[in-house]
């Protein structure tokens, strides 16, 4: 199975949890498993889990960040979303 | 592929969290049967004979249902040879239909073109064909005569069936470590992924480990070979080598009873597939709480999730990377569990082996036996129908 090139992350666009990904809550955050590329990814904070699971409710990732993440941490969470887009845990909605 | 850590803000290192155990295993191995038509000298489960008490298809489906409840993403199916179970396809389909992905290991002897096509039609399924050498001479020495041919034919059949990317799975030994490049070339030829795992002295390898495990020089060479090839899968099994320098990719911890466990063919739950011994038996899936009950409540698993003593490794500068190595390797070579791994890259294992009073432990098993109960010499002559002709 060849991987398709994932769309680069852009904070002003709408994103969602990839339908091929399942999340399992754990005390540290959650495990995310991608049934397509078979990758296991660790989401290492509860806030990140909430953010990722509610992305689809917002017209852009930036608005989801506003709703769920303290301002001072927007940069680090945006970077986390960028990595999740690269590993196809989230995709462009 | 090694798991990826996406951290935003994480106060506690993930490794510490994992050492305390998770709500469900990440790496769950399920051996479907102790029956096997081969008799590899390093078989981790001493397989050969079917156990009359093996789980029925109904019981096996019940375990899959529990996996769904626990959100187990995938299960590693092995044996024995899982494909000798007549209900193999029923069970695999039942699991993947419920989105419990299946990664299964096979010796390939039963991989007919028709079965390969059937597997190719299933989603969420990965296949690993075991082969322990790039040539029949090297492979058949441990897996038995004819097993190399059978494995290659299984690969041909998967490729012809359009299965896509399967895995070529190799246990690294003193004999095949020189053939790693050739093994990688075989995998490439099929567009397959190479998967290397560590030989542990478990099952029948209690007796063959001395002769088969790579030398210290070979281990160093293996470390560099792997470090240069992050695409090669290892199931995190060589983390004791991380003491040689930059840690290899992966979690680098012994996950036994914390993120790893084994369900054996009769439903016994062990801390890991390499410790089939009463001391590491956590319970049975037939117990009232089923598999989830064993995973969450067993006193063995609870104690493994407590902080462990580093023992003689405490003063080692590499402890963070190596963690003292593999519990199974220590147990079956008769070394203390809180000391160095027998293959400690700083040589402390060799010293401990030389000093140990006890001999390696026997392991319980299902090797084929002669009528008087004495184990048959392995490898036994292999007789199986060629997959191409069935
Ligand atoms: S005992 Fe060895 S094989 Fe089992 S989980 Fe620990 S390190 Fe891995
Ligand atoms: S002394 Fe222990 S921690 Fe250090 S490298 Fe050897 S096994 Fe690993």
What's the pLDDT score for residue B11?
A: 43
What's the pLDDT score for residue B389?
A: 41
What's the pLDDT score for residue B363?
A: 66
B7 touches chain A (CB under 8 A): yes
Asked whether residue B102 carries a pLDDT value surpassing 60, the answer given is yes
CB contact under 8 A, B124 and A35: yes
Averaged pLDDT score across all residues of chain A = 92
Averaged pLDDT score across all residues of chain B = 90
Of B389 and B366, more confident: B366
Q: What is the mean pLDDT of residues A70-82?
A: 96
H-assigned helices in chain B:
14-19, 57-70, 88-97, 113-120, 136-143, 147-160, 180-189, 205-212, 216-227, 290-297, 299-304, 319-322, 327-332, 348-355
Q: What is the mean pLDDT of residues B186-204?
A: 96
**Cα–Cα distances in Å, from B80 out to B31, B94, B230, B279?**
7, 20, 30, 22
Sign, CA dihedral A14-A19-A21-A27, equals positive
A50 touches chain B (CB under 8 A): no
CA atoms of B351 and B340, how far apart (whole Å): 10
The string of pLDDT tens digits covering residues B36-66 is: 999 999 999 999 999 999 999 999 999 999 9
Of B218 and B246, more confident: B218
What's the pLDDT score for residue B359?
A: 66
CB contact under 8 A, A48 and B24: no
Burial tier of B313 (Cβ tally within 10 Å: 0-12, 13-18, 19+): buried
The string of pLDDT tens digits covering residues B142-161 is: 999 999 999 999 999 999 99
At residue B263, φ and ψ (nearest 5 deg) are -105, 120
Q: Model's pTM, two decimal places? A: 0.91
**Closest ligand to Cα B251:** 1
CATH of A15-92, one of 3.30.420, 3.30.1490, 3.90.930, 3.40.190: 3.90.930
Asked whether residue B191 carries a pLDDT value surpassing 90, the answer given is yes
CB B75 within 8 A of CB B91: no
Burial tier of B235 (Cβ tally within 10 Å: 0-12, 13-18, 19+): middle
Residue B379's nearest CA partner among B173, B154, B140 is B140
DSSP state of B388: G
Q: In what order do the strands lie in the sheet with B125-130?
A: B193-198, B167-172, B125-130, B101-106, B74-78, B27-31, B260-263, B268-270, B281-284
So where are chain A's domains? Answer: 15-92
Asked whether residue B24 carries a pLDDT value surpassing 50, the answer given is yes
The string of pLDDT tens digits covering residues B66-89 is: 999 999 999 999 999 999 999 999
Q: How confident is the model at residue A8 (pLDDT cuts 50, 70, 90)?
A: confident
CB B351 within 8 A of CB B116: no
What is the widest separation between alpha-carbon atoms in chain A?
40
What's the pLDDT score for residue B226?
A: 96
What's the pLDDT score for residue B381?
A: 37
CB B300 within 8 A of CB B282: yes
The ipTM estimated for the assembled molecules is 0.87
Burial tier of B292 (Cβ tally within 10 Å: 0-12, 13-18, 19+): middle
The string of pLDDT tens digits covering residues B103-142 is: 999 999 999 999 999 999 999 999 999 999 999 999 999 9
Element (H, E) at A25: strand A21-26
Q: What is the mean pLDDT of residues B362-388?
A: 58
To the nearest whole Å, the CA of B126 is away from the closest chain A CA by 9
What's the pLDDT score for residue B252?
A: 81
Asked whether residue B10 carries a pLDDT value surpassing 80, the answer given is no
The string of pLDDT tens digits covering residues B328-370 is: 999 999 999 999 999 999 999 988 998 887 666 766 788 877 6
CA atoms of B261 and B240, how far apart (whole Å): 19
What's the pLDDT score for residue B14?
A: 76
Q: Hey, which of B237, B326, B332 would you mutate to test ligand 1's pocket, going by the most ligand atoms within 8 Å of its Cβ? A: B326
Residue of A nearest to B15 (CA): A28
A33 touches chain B (CB under 8 A): yes
The string of pLDDT tens digits covering residues A16-63 is: 999 999 999 998 899 999 999 999 999 989 999 999 999 999 999 999
Which residues' Cβ are closer than 6 Å to ligand 2?
B 243, 313, 316, 318-319, 322, 324-325, 340-341, 344-346, 348
Q: What is the mean pLDDT of residues B214-225?
A: 96
Q: Which residues of chain B lie closer than 8 angstroms to A31, CB-CB? A: 22, 26, 73
Contacts of residue A80, defined as CB under 8 A and 6 or more positions apart, other chains included, come to A48, B6, B7, B8
Contacts of residue B12, defined as CB under 8 A and 6 or more positions apart, other chains included, come to A28
């Amino acid at each position: 199975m060849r991987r398709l090139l994932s769309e680069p992350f852009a904070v002003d666009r709408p994103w969602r949890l990839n339908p091929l990904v399942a999340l399992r809550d754990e005390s540290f955050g959650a495990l995310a498993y991608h049934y397509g590329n078979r990758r296991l990814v660790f989401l290492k904070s509860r806030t990140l889990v909430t953010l990722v699971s509610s992305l689809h409710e917002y017209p852009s990732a930036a608005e989801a960040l506003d709703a769920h993440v303290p301002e001072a941490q927007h940069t680090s969470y945006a970077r986390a979303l960028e990595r999740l887009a690269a590993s196809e845990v989230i995709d462009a909605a | 592929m090694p798991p990826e850590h996406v951290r935003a803000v994480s106060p506690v290192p993930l490794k510490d969290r994992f050492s305390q155990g998770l709500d469900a295993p990440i790496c769950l191995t399920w051996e479907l049967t102790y029956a096997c038509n081969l008799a590899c000298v390093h078989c981790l489960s001493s397989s050969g004979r079917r156990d009359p008490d093996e789980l029925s298809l109904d019981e096996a489906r019940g375990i899959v249902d529990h996996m769904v409840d626990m959100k187990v993403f995938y299960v590693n199916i092995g044996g024995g040879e899982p494909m000798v179970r007549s209900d193999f396809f029923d069970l695999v389909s039942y699991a993947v239909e419920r989105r419990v992905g299946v990664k299964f290991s096979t010796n390939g002897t039963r991989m007919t073109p028709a079965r390969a096509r059937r597997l190719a039609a299933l989603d969420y399924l990965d296949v690993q064909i075991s082969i322990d050498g790039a040539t029949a001479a090297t492979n058949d020495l441990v897996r038995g005569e004819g097993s190399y041919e059978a494995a290659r034919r299984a690969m041909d059949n998967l490729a012809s069936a359009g299965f896509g990317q399967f895995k070529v799975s190799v246990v690294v030994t003193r004999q095949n470590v020189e053939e790693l490049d050739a093994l990688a070339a075989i995998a490439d030829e099929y567009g397959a992924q190479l998967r290397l795992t560590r030989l542990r002295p478990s099952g029948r390898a209690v007796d063959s480990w001395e002769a088969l495990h790579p030398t210290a020089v070979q281990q160093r060479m293996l470390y560099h070979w792997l470090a240069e090839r992050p695409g090669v899968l290892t199931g995190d099994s060589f983390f004791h080598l991380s003491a040689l320098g930059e840690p290899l990719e992966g979690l680098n911890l012994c996950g036994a009873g914390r993120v790893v466990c084994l369900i054996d063919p009769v439903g016994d739950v062990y801390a890991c597939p390499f410790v089939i011994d009463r001391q590491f038996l956590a319970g049975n899936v037939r117990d009232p709480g089923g598999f989830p009950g064993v995973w969450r409540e067993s006193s063995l698993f609870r104690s493994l999730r407590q902080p462990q003593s580093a023992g003689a490794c405490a003063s080692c500068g590499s402890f963070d990377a190596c963690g003292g190595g593999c519990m199974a390797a220590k147990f079956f070579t008769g070394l203390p569990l809180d000391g160095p791994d027998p293959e400690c890259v700083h040589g402390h294992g060799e010293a401990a082996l030389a000093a140990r009073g006890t001999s390696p432990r026997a392991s319980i098993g299902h090797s084929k036996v002669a009528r008087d109960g004495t184990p048959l010499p392995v490898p036994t002559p292999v007789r199986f129908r060629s997959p191409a002709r069935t």
